[in-house]
Amino acid sequence: MKAFIVDRYGKTETMRLGDMPKPLLGDDDVLIEVHAAGVNLLDFKIKSGEFKLILPYRMPLVLGHDVAGIVVQVGSRVRQFNVGDEVYARVPDHRIGTFAEFIAVNESDVAPKPGNLTMEEAASIPLVGLTAWQALVERVRLQKGQKVFIQAGSGGVGSFAIQLAKHMGATVATTTSSANAELVKSLGADVVIDYRKDDFEKVLQDYDLVLHSQNAEALEKSLRVLKPGGNLISISGPPDPAFAKGIGAPWFVGLIARLLSAGVRKRAVRRHLGYSFLFMRANGPQLREIARLVEAGAIRPVMDRVFPFESANEALAYVEAGHAKGKVVIKIK
């Protein structure tokens, strides 16, 4: 099968289009003919080698975490899907590779594609949708009337999280540029802060939750906009010991995580706040819940650009530049 292949780690390394063996199908797997694949900053970070301590991959490697496509084969124990089903998924970390014509995924990580979306739209959802779901629903159980600050509201995670938080009845604040203010308002943001002109720390106070995705400076400021008992969930770090334990990392990775997050955890405790790092995981049942919200019109995908398969390197570079509004997708079939 055709795939975009990484031969070695490096920020300046490019993927090459080549041939790879079609994935082997396990008894609990479905083989998906990939029609579209979402592109995430995580893909660039893995290619750069930023995660090789906690996610060691063998080379050559095919990147890609999001997929939408059609089931073309099922394993002997598969009961939820049949050949011909339209599906979408965020594949697990140890089985990435959606920048290819086919991928095998355990059926527990797959869900039926939302019926009202194109393949490209569906491929834009899994990673960002599960990140928002696992932060707002699973981890803190956001309640109606609570106040949540979602950083970078026009980005992939932000644009989804705003809609989910609003659907759950929260008051939502976000940061974005003036050019994207109308977009985030249309998604449900109640308070929109132009990060180029205003300091969110001076605008926001007594928030219940911050979904942090920016740098260390924004992390420190975020602690100060929360009320006692509030929570800061970071998807950009630093990782904490609970994360290292959850992925079964070696002891030294746990020690590194403990040291990296010691400062912010100490400051959070001093302010009677919760701090946790979220590295989302594949989850088919949660994708089914998300599909219901999409089909009901509560959440819509926010797309920036769709690149053809042969332009996968350009798509990855575009995401790495950091200016995408919503998601970037590669159309493969």
Mean pLDDT score of the chain: 96
* Per-residue model confidence (pLDDT) at position 56: 87
* Per-residue model confidence (pLDDT) at position 250: 87
**Domain shared by 188 and 90, yes or no:** no
Side-chain half-sphere exposure of 136, counting CA atoms within 13 A: 31
DSSP letter for 137, please.
I
Residue 63: inside a domain, yes or no?
Answer: yes
What's the structural domain count of the chain?
2
Residue-wise pLDDT tens digits, 215-274? 999 999 999 999 999 999 999 989 999 988 888 888 888 998 999 999 999 999 999 999
**Domain shared by 67 and 148, yes or no:** no
pTM score: 0.97
**Domain shared by 53 and 101, yes or no:** yes
What is the extent of the structural domain holding 178? 127-277
Confidence of residue 177 (pLDDT cuts 50, 70, 90): very high
**Domain shared by 68 and 107, yes or no:** yes
CA distance 145 to 284: 29
**Domain shared by 137 and 114, yes or no:** no
Confidence of residue 310 (pLDDT cuts 50, 70, 90): very high
Pairing assessment for the beta strands 29-39 and 102-106 based on DSSP bridges: antiparallel
Mean pLDDT, residues 119-142: 98
Residue 100: inside a domain, yes or no?
Answer: yes
**Domain shared by 139 and 235, yes or no:** yes
Residue 327: inside a domain, yes or no?
Answer: yes
Residue-wise pLDDT tens digits, 8-33? 999 999 999 999 999 999 999 999 99
Give the Cα-Cα-Cα angle 41, 46, 52 (nearest 5 degrees): 145
CATH number of the domain encompassing residue 120:
3.90.180.10
* Statement: residue 323 has pLDDT above 90: no
**Domain shared by 156 and 237, yes or no:** yes
Residue 62: inside a domain, yes or no?
Answer: yes
CATH number of the domain encompassing residue 188:
3.40.50.720
* Domain-terminating residue out of 277, 293, 317: 277
Q: How much of the chain, in percent, has pLDDT values that exceed 90?
A: 93
**Domain shared by 58 and 133, yes or no:** no
**Domain shared by 166 and 257, yes or no:** yes
**Domain shared by 41 and 110, yes or no:** yes
**Domain shared by 20 and 155, yes or no:** no
Confidence of residue 75 (pLDDT cuts 50, 70, 90): very high
Pairing assessment for the beta strands 191-194 and 171-176 based on DSSP bridges: parallel
- 111 contacts 88 by C-beta, under 8 angstroms: yes
**Domain shared by 200 and 271, yes or no:** yes
Cα separation of the two ends of the chain:
13
Q: Which of 111, 85, 102, 83 is nearest to 24 (CA)?
A: 102
